[in-house]
Amino acid sequence: MGLNLDLGLQGRSLLALAELTDHQVLGLVDLAINLKARKLAGTHIAAPLLRGRNLCLVFEKASTRTRCATVVAARDEGASTEYLGKGDIHFGKKESVADSARVLGRMFDGILFRGYAHRTVEILAEHAGVPVWNGLTDDWHPTQILADLQTIKEHFGQLKGLKVVFVGDGRNNVCNSLMVGCAMAGVHVVDCCPPELAPSEHVLALARRAAERNGSTVTVSHDPVTAVKGANVLYTDVWVSMGEESQFRERVELLRPFQIDMAMVERTGNLAGDRVIFLHCLPAFHNDETEVTMESGALEVTDDVFEAPFSKVFEEAENRMHTIKAMILASLA
Ligand code: CP
Ligand code: NVA
């Protein structure tokens, strides 16, 4: 199978989708779709593309998908990985981020970072001398949205002209990247959120500029009744992101009217004919089987929606691996 690894990203970092061209974003999605087929066929075993490479994962925050996706993607292609969690290295505590970056860059071929301040991943990229990939910061989650676009394309066979409605915390990392990524793919996007949690002017401007190039629209709505009409994708995320735990109570009060339930899915008008899917970056609160929901009962999505046939959240989770592999290969192979 012919893989198009030449997306003009060799040696480059990926900190936010807006650094890429629209063509590069779509190219990474298509590459991931091809890598998924290649893995299914087992072809990668005989011809790994990253043999002898060493990658490290610097993580300040917890992760299931991003960490495992990166480790498996690397291993599939013959690369090794080292996980450096909070407290494992001197990073920012006994050594500046810039110094750690210069050390890690002398030893590793690429660095995937997950953490708090977006500035930290920028400093890493400025000093490492090797590609640095953003595995989530407070501001952006670019690799998540590559997987979301892959999942949408796999279901609908296209991206351009579809309508994605994000319902929830309209200014978090996932929503920010979703708006920009969808606009770069010509997807109409609505950010449906309480006024207190509306996106920044900066993010809106980036998304609107991309939408203009691609003939789509970027809208903010505060009305979960009307905003979802015609949606092909209903998307949500947790109401309280990592690092914001102290705001739990007020966040839940603001977002309760924005919970995705079956009535909301029906209001899209697209349930018949498989014209709507539900996506969530995960982890999700949809039942009382987590410590947090046992205490709070705060769910961003009801269990019947989460478990419905139109919920593609586990395909989406799997696609994290194929898209992260696409990104690493485009940078290093
Ligand atoms: N969606 C996502 O980034 O999941 P993790 O926090 O488990 O990596
Ligand atoms: N917005 C969430 C995404 C988790 C993948 C967070 O930052 O915690």
Model confidence over 209-258: pLDDT tens digits? 999 999 999 999 999 999 999 999 999 999 999 999 999 999 999 999 99
* Element holding 178 (H helix, E strand): helix 173-184
Same domain membership, residue 154 and residue 135 = no
pLDDT digits (tens, 9 = 90+) for 123-174: 999 999 999 999 999 999 999 999 999 999 999 999 999 999 999 999 999 9
Q: What is the pLDDT of residue 2?
A: 83
In short, whether 177's Cβ falls inside 6 Å of ligand 1 is no
Residues 284-295 have a mean pLDDT of: 93
**Residue 27 DSSP code:** H
Choosing from 60, 61, 65 the residue with most ligand 1 atoms within 8 A of its CB, the one to mutate for a pocket test is 65
The answer to whether residue 3 is domain-embedded is no
pLDDT at 280 over 70: yes
Q: Tell which atom from ligand 2 comes closest to the C-alpha of 282.
A: 5
* Set 38, 127, 141, 251: catalytic member: 141
Q: Is the whole model's pTM more than 0.95, yes or no? A: yes
Same domain membership, residue 159 and residue 60 = no
Same domain membership, residue 128 and residue 183 = no
For residue 141, indicate whether it is catalytic: yes
What does pLDDT average to over the chain? 97
Cα(174) to centroid of ligand 2, in Å?
7
Closest Cα to atom 7 of ligand 2 = 241
Quickly tell me which residue has 């290649």 as its tokens: 38
- Boundaries of domain holding 64: 17-140+320-332
Same domain membership, residue 82 and residue 34 = yes
Q: What is the pLDDT of residue 1?
A: 61
Q: What is the pLDDT of residue 297?
A: 81
Choosing from 65, 146, 173 the residue with most ligand 2 atoms within 8 A of its CB, the one to mutate for a pocket test is 173
The answer to whether residue 4 is domain-embedded is no
CA torsion, ordered 72, 77, 82, 83, to nearest 10 deg: -30
For residue 182, indicate whether it is catalytic: no
Taking Cα atoms as reference points, which of 77, 28, 110, 78 lies closest to residue 320?
Answer: 28
Closest Cα to atom 4 of ligand 1 = 65
Same domain membership, residue 165 and residue 44 = no
pLDDT > 70 in the chain, percent: 100
pLDDT at 290 over 70: yes
pLDDT digits (tens, 9 = 90+) for 83-133: 999 999 999 889 999 999 999 999 999 999 999 999 999 999 999 999 999
pLDDT > 90 in the chain, percent: 96
Nearest-Å Rg of the Cα atoms of the chain is 19
The answer to whether residue 12 is domain-embedded is no
* Set 114, 127, 155, 188: catalytic member: 114
Same domain membership, residue 23 and residue 134 = yes
Same domain membership, residue 207 and residue 152 = yes
The answer to whether residue 6 is domain-embedded is no
Confidence of residue 295 (pLDDT cuts 50, 70, 90): confident
Cα(241) to centroid of ligand 2, in Å?
5
Q: What is the pLDDT of residue 197?
A: 98
Ligand nearest to the CA of 146: 1
Binding-site residues, ligand 2, Cβ < 6 A: 136, 172-174, 237-238, 241-242, 281
Output the CA–CA distances (angstroms, integers) from residue 173 to 3, 48, 139, 236, 276, in the order listed. Answer: 30, 33, 5, 12, 23
Cα(212) to centroid of ligand 1, in Å?
30
In short, whether 281's Cβ falls inside 6 Å of ligand 1 is yes
Same domain membership, residue 132 and residue 208 = no
The answer to whether residue 37 is domain-embedded is yes
The answer to whether residue 241 is domain-embedded is yes
Domains of the chain: total: 2
The answer to whether residue 206 is domain-embedded is yes
- CATH number for position 36: 3.40.50.1370
The answer to whether residue 313 is domain-embedded is yes
